[in-house]
Structure 1
Amino acid sequence: MAAGRLTVLAGPTAVGKGSVSAYVREHFPKVWLSVSVTTRPPRPTEVDGIHYRFIDDATFERMRADGDLLEWAVVHGRAKYGTPRGPVIEAIAAGLSPLLEIDLQGARQVRESMPEALFVFLDPPSWDELVRRLIGRGTESRDEREARLATARVELAAADEFDVRIVNDDVQRAAEELVSLMG
């Protein structure tokens, strides 16, 4: 592990960022995973403090206004997401290898403030597979799925902004490739 170097993992909705991060969390304890905050409600399998910190809009806005977020975005025109700055800075200072799992907007903000980070884009094997995964998880309404797919097209078009691209055709393989890139 390249101690003290931040790695940013981004990609479109339903590409499997959460699955890859969960695999890394379980199998690579030396990787420090940042826990984002969000104003959206938890999905049935998500645990507060593990997958996200679920907060209300007022708390999010207070964190944003106070500069407590390394990056933040309104995603799919609906919920707000952000990365608390303090824990990431502390992890880097402690020589850990932090991993952020964020969206394109957030990755762009992190690149502005921490250009030395490694930026990794997680690609789907195909567009059809991305659509299948989104529909298959069954957690979004039809309107929400359409908004997420529109955002996914924009995100896929920006993949060349990243240092490295990994195709998520197998979660274990993609996670192991990600960790190997971290050092």
Structure 2
Amino acid sequence: MTTDQIKRRGLLIILSSPSGAGKSTLATRLRAWDNDIAFSVSGTTRKARPGEVDGQHYHFTSEADFKGMVARGEMLEHAHVFGHFYGSPQRPVEDAINAGRDVLFDIDWQGAQQIRNSALGAHTLSIFLLPPSITELHRRLVSRGQDSDEVIEKRMRKSWDEISRWDSYDFVLVNDDLDHTEDQLKTIIKATRLRRLQQPDLTDHVRLLQTQFEELE
């Protein structure tokens, strides 16, 4: 078996940051870079909005079904947000990583912690993005033009709670330049894909080498 024939197991790539630190932009760039990276499709109990497709944007489900999945341990992570439940179903993520595809999670530190503590936790790669400064973080939120002053203020108040969790992640990057940060993310992902745990066929390859070595004796 040659090196390029050794299969790999996919990663659960967790990308977290305070709002405005560039997480969504970088997540989109990573997916454009490699087709083997897919977004995790969350389950939710809220109703579908116009244009949203079940199974593509979200897995829409009833509250009873959602709670049943949580009770049966079928959710990697879940949370209650603004009156609705959101979570990441385990089965499609497990199927993806067993097929050699990476799954990208755009979640906060609480969801990241739940995934690290899940049955698939050994295959996680967690990355936190820091802004270069609080002033720049505020400028980015304002320049997006998506939120009212009140919402921006709420996001800024929440940002420190998120930033204070930085030391629970595998990698922490200061996103002062999108292109540079993108290059750093690619380097981290490519290196982590080579972890021994992500290469399940290595054991068989080493056994083959052992057999070949014994045949030389």
Shorter-chain TM-score bucket reads 0.7 to 0.9
Q: 1:170 aligns with which of 162, 170, 177?
A: 177
Give 2:36's aligned residue: 30
- Checking the alignment, whether the CA contact within 8 Å between 1:41 and 1:54 is kept in structure 2 is no
Quote the Cα distance in structure 2 between the aligned partners of 1:118 and 1:111.
Answer: 9
- Checking the alignment, whether the CA contact within 8 Å between 2:41 and 2:57 is kept in structure 1 is yes
TM-score by length of 1: 0.78
Q: Indicate whether 1:90 and 2:95 are aligned.
A: yes
1:101 deviates by 1.7
The superposition leaves residues 63-100 of structure 1 with CA deviations (integer Å, 9 ceiling, x where unpaired) of 5456443112245x676543232221111111222222
Q: Indicate whether 1:10 and 2:16 are aligned.
A: yes
Q: Indicate whether 1:105 and 2:128 are aligned.
A: no
Q: Pairwise CA RMSD of aligned residues? A: 3.3
Aligned residues: 181
Give 2:202's aligned residue: none
1:143 deviates by 3.1
SS in 1 for 2:158: helix
1:41 deviates by 9.3
Q: Indicate whether 1:117 and 2:131 are aligned.
A: no
**Greater CA deviation, 133-142 or 148-157?**
133-142
Cα distance change, pair 2–145 in 1 and its aligned pair in 2 (3 A): farther
Structure scoring higher RCO (CA < 8 A, sep ≥ 6) equals 1
**Greater CA deviation, 164-173 or 14-23?**
164-173
Cα distance change, pair 60–163 in 1 and its aligned pair in 2 (3 A): same
| Largest Rg, 1 or 2 | 2
The superposition leaves residues 88-140 of structure 1 with CA deviations (integer Å, 9 ceiling, x where unpaired) of 11111112222222111111111111144121111112111111112222222
1:18 deviates by 0.8
Amino acid at match of 2:97: I
Unmatched segments (≥5 aa) in structure 2 = 1-6, 191-217
Q: 1:154 aligns with which of 122, 144, 161?
A: 161
Q: Indicate whether 1:145 and 2:152 are aligned.
A: yes
Amino acid at match of 2:143: G
Percentage of pairs with the same residue: 35
Cα distance change, pair 4–131 in 1 and its aligned pair in 2 (3 A): same
1:142 deviates by 3.1
TM-score by length of 2: 0.68
1:159 deviates by 0.3
Quote the Cα distance in structure 2 between the aligned partners of 1:61 and 1:155.
Answer: 26
Quote the Cα distance in structure 1 between the aligned partners of 2:59 and 2:29.
Answer: 21
